[in-house]
Amino acid sequence: MESLTASWVSGADNSEFPIQNLPYGVFHLINEDYTASRPGVRIGNSVVDLKALQQHGFLPHLDLQTNVFNQASLNNFMALGRKFWIETRVVLTKLLSTRGDASLKNSDQLKNILFDVKEIVNLLPARIGDYTDFYSSKEHATNVGKLFRPDAEPLLPNWTWIPVGYHGRASSVVISGTPIRRPWGQTKAPTAQFPSFTKCAKLDFELEMAFFVGPPSKFGDPISIAQSEDHIFGMVLMNDWSARDLQAWEYVPLGPFTAKNLGTTVSPWIVTLEALEPFRTKTPLQTPEPFDYLKDGGNSSYDIQLEVWMSTSENQLEKILTSNFKYMYWSMRQQLTHHSISGCNMATGDLLGSGTISGPGELEYGSLLEYSLNGKRPFKVNGQERSFLQDNDSIILRGYCQGDGYKIGFGDCAGTILPAHDKI
């Protein structure tokens, strides 16, 4: 596969979706309704229809898996496991390479298999049964701790011992481009005697990444560190929108609730671990040393450059913040292992979020909570002052890995804030 590095698909080689990427998603054509949705693979500005590709005999290794792409999600394919994922990647690479198998390029069925991205509508790539969000960036947790506990240690005692997380709401995970409605909820000012029911005034984004679970695990059986990557299908960008004023009042003692279930946005294309392998890097030094069940060798992160772009109303996008996935203190392998250590069974399509990803450098923040110091340090975008998100503001998260002469991208993770309902 190393020599098959150029594609005959127009525009693929100079895009964020070259032949080295081949991420998976779910789509239907603009002139179809959602009942026609099926899995696809992104290559340049085109999408390969995997259902049609299999039906026309281009995926013979999946002949016994007759329904793997004949559905509106990737779950059946994700459940097959890494052996089938790698075999499919090899076949796709050969079919799409300039030096590979030319049968697809010369096929009379090409017009029914390869579509321009302008012709499609993206949907969520998987049926998400459960969604868990972690809190695994040490820089982010430290920044937040300093804001809310200035006279105490910023990290709580458990933070360096376990990957802290909470169970989120899968039903409000939405695809990129879906507008997010400003929520109503309870808040309480520090000097107020009683809480109030009002519109959220501190609406924020969270720069995150997430991974999808592939093969499921059995109820009662933990997933070991050694087994963990065999259960990870791939990664997406994620924005776990946050109502900071609601969260401050409601999160004690059980954690985030309505402050987070207003919406969680994911990018449409799942980038596989095989595509990310050249960008594997070490995780930060973990002190104290984790318990044996969480030791993973320290080489289980990825160098993924992250960006936050923002615009006000219909104005031009501006890049306001950056970060990198490699800063994550707790790895995906550790998150999955700890999640299952109790015997909690992981299901195909489960979504596990990294938590907000901040870095050590200037402007390497993953949220406006940090960037604006909880509203005390306003900033400007499009010449307008902001501390938190206002109505009609848009946020786009972007991420990529820079290779030698190519780039692995994830596609936009975008959302625009709609005004709250007039009354509840």
Catalytic residues: 140
Strand 351-353 with 131-134, pairing: parallel
Exposure b/e, 306-344, CB count within 10 A at least 16 = b: bbbbbbbeeeebeebbbbbbbbbbbbbbbbbbbbbeeeb
The verdict on whether omega for the bond into residue 253 sits within 30 degrees of 0, i.e. cis, is yes
Residue 168: other Cβ atoms inside 10 A: 22
Structure tokens at 113: 């298999």
Contact 246, 182 (CB under 8 A): no
- CA–CA separation, 89 and 97 (whole Å): 12
Closest CA to 320 of 181, 204, 199: 204
- CA–CA separation, 164 and 335 (whole Å): 9
Contact 320, 364 (CB under 8 A): no
Exposure b/e, 179-202, CB count within 10 A at least 16 = b: ebebbbbebeeeeeeeeeeebbeb
Closest CA to 161 of 56, 298, 352, 290: 290
Contact 257, 405 (CB under 8 A): no
What does R_g of the chain's alpha carbons equal in angstroms?
22
Chain-centroid distance, C-alpha 343: 25
Q: Any idea which residue has 């800063």 for tokens?
A: 327
Please provide the DSSP assignment of 396-407 as one string.
EEEEEEE-SS-E
Please provide the DSSP assignment of 261-304 as one string.
TT-EEE-S-BEEHHHHGGGEEPPPP-SSPPPGGG--TT--EE--
